Amino acid sequence: MRGGLCRPLRSVAMLLLLLLSPWVSPGASGAANPCCSFPCQHKGVCVQVGTEGYVCDCTRTGYFGPNCTFPEFWMRLRDALKPSPAFYHFLLTHFQWFWSIVNNTFVRDTLMRLVLTVRANMIPSPPTYNSAYGYISWEAYANVSYFTRVLPPVPDDCPTPMGTKGPAELPDVHLVAERFLLRRTFRPDPQGSNLMFAFFAQHFTHQFFKTSGKMGHGFTRALGHGVDLGNVYGDNLERQHELRLFRDGKLKFQVVDGEMYPPTVLEAPVHMIYPKHIPPEKQLAVGQEVFGLLPGLMMYATLWLREHNRVCDVLKGEHPTWGDEQLFQTARLILIGETIKIVIEDYVQHLSGYYLQLKFDPELLFGVQFQYRNRIAVEFNQLYHWHPLMPDSFLIQDEDYSYQQFVYNTTLLTDYGVEALVEAFSKQRAGQVGGGQNINPNLLKVAIGVIEESRLLRLQPFNEYRKRFGMRPYTSFRELTGDEEKAAELEELYGDIDALEFYPGLLVEKSQPNGIFGESMVEIGAPFSLKGLFGNPICSPEYWKPSTFGGATGFEMVNTATLQKLVCRNVKRCPYVAFRVPRDGEEAAAPASSGQGEKEPSAEL
């Protein structure tokens, strides 16, 4: 049908276009590079021809014409029927009674498969660009030391930093941050996200967001480019070996007040980043060198340490002939599976706000074309700086800690214990990310660094990313923010909505109704996230089977993992634990403890 109808229509239209205009389009007058105006739409690739002309490569975009703006027949039909992101977000976050029915039928699997394929297909695989090459190259594919990129850099010979729109010099980065990102008054997330969620986001993403300062911007030290638990086991073999006990597959640990904690750097001599005034005997050693910064990060490191060693005990009981190496490697695969399960069904489920119950089931994709390889993009790294989540202080058992008291406080974890921190962080609300003006002053310098990096990497304007991920570009700052005063200030600095930078655009965009993020954060972030999670090797047909995880018991651990089980299997008393603050009556419903070190969860877990 497609070959019989679409191709003749396209041929006639292309013939008319050729008669009406030259195929090589002239560039904008006075522009050194005509591609600076981003003329190619719908994922078309701009190639400069001569000094003032360009060609748009529209291959397999579903569009044709000089600028890839004319849809083929089936693309026109699809565009006419396709709902807007706002529409399906509304549908997925309303009508709870309807979704309660769907979640108990085969329709759930069908919708989940659709979500995965549509989202994952938005991310190019294999990768296309990196920060050194604004065109397809073997280097962009093969050199995994680079973060990849979805959109190429703004050409370096453009009239303005954003191409052809906006001022010749971008506004002062400190001015942008102080006007639009700095918190005036703490604005809590209306979805009820808590610090357990905030610290999980940091702990989870720091295994693959590891910018290599020594090599320069655009480079990464996390060469695994995905969920490999390098934050638990280290990002290289030498670090891993320093952290391993080399007995029964376990990691090194110390016992404090009868409970397991990470070893000190005296016992596991790995590089950790601590201030000079903290003595080595108080510096805890884990896979990620920055986790000593916040007790919330070290709390998660402790939970995963305990879980690894607990899983090793279970595996040894089932496989007494296995040596240390097989126990360690199999336990690592189980923990990777548990992590992905928790991320999709607890973490992403919460932040999405969807009533559709998300599902981690790799078999959903076995019958469709899918590549089990992932590359982390610099845009994903930029997008995931969610520092508005952090509060103005940290409340633990009626004690309020300022940033100065909380940061690098190595004794909070061992003094209070894991369950006390879990309960405190589960009950304290995090901030709303969308809407701007919600970053604590102590963290503003991090946001400034993100914007500075984006300028060095010449990221394309915010609206170009909206178009790339299937959203309609904003036509005004008023439409972006929903606030007249804020819109006027943005226009004063940037001049044109098409000159707004990527990261500021994500944060100042108005949040979705009762949502933690704006539309762009969800629509751009979700494809990166789901592609990375389901693109993990353990999700492939070759890996996804019980034997990979040591048999039925290990496979069951992966398939039944939850945040609550991760905590309650590894503490003495099971506290309230969730990614949102408790609703009325929920604390009383918290399950009893299964006991630290118990091999199997109790029935109520």
Packed helices 195-205 and 418-427: angle between N→C axes, nearest 10 degrees: 110
Backbone phi, then psi, for 284, in 5-degree steps? Answer: -85, 145
The closest alpha carbon to 315, from 299, 286, 342, 335, belongs to: 335
Tokens linked to 494:
């940037």
Tokens linked to 90:
């509304």
Establish whether 384 is a catalytic residue.
Answer: yes
The closest alpha carbon to 430, from 586, 293, 579, 587, belongs to: 579
- Number of neighbouring beta carbons within 10 Å of residue 216: 12
Q: Which of 63, 261, 347, 384 is catalytic?
A: 384
Packed helices 444-456 and 173-180: angle between N→C axes, nearest 10 degrees: 130
Task: Give the chain's length.
Answer: 605
The SS3 call for residue 458 is coil
DSSP state of 64: E
Backbone phi, then psi, for 48, in 5-degree steps? Answer: -70, 135
Tokens linked to 88:
């399906």
CA distance 559 to 566: 13
CA distance 300 to 104: 32
Tell me the residue ranges of DSSP E strands in 126-240: 129-130, 148-149
- Number of neighbouring beta carbons within 10 Å of residue 544: 21
Among left, alpha and beta (phi > 0; psi -120 to 50; other), residue 500 is beta
Tokens linked to 595:
């006991």
Tokens linked to 1:
């049908």
Residues in Cβ contact with 119 at an 8 Å cutoff, skipping those fewer than 6 apart: 526, 527, 530, 531
Tokens linked to 580:
């949102």
Q: Which of 89, 203, 206, 385 is catalytic?
A: 206
Given a contact cutoff of 8 angstroms between Cβ atoms, the answer to whether 167 and 160 are in contact is yes
Tokens linked to 401:
């800690």
Tokens linked to 117:
């394929």
DSSP state of 206: T
CA distance 137 to 140: 5
CA distance 157 to 168: 12
| 442 CB-contact burial (10 Å; exposed 0-12 / middle 13-18 / buried 19+) | middle
The SS3 call for residue 362 is helix
Cis, peptide link before residue 126, omega less than 30° from 0: yes
DSSP assignment of 460-529: PPHHHHHHHTT-PPPS-HHHHHS-HHHHHHHHHHHSSGGG--HHHHHHHSPBPTT-SSBHHHHHHHHHHH
Given a contact cutoff of 8 angstroms between Cβ atoms, the answer to whether 230 and 429 are in contact is no
> What residue type is assigned to position 241 of the chain?
H
Give the active site residues. Answer: 206, 384
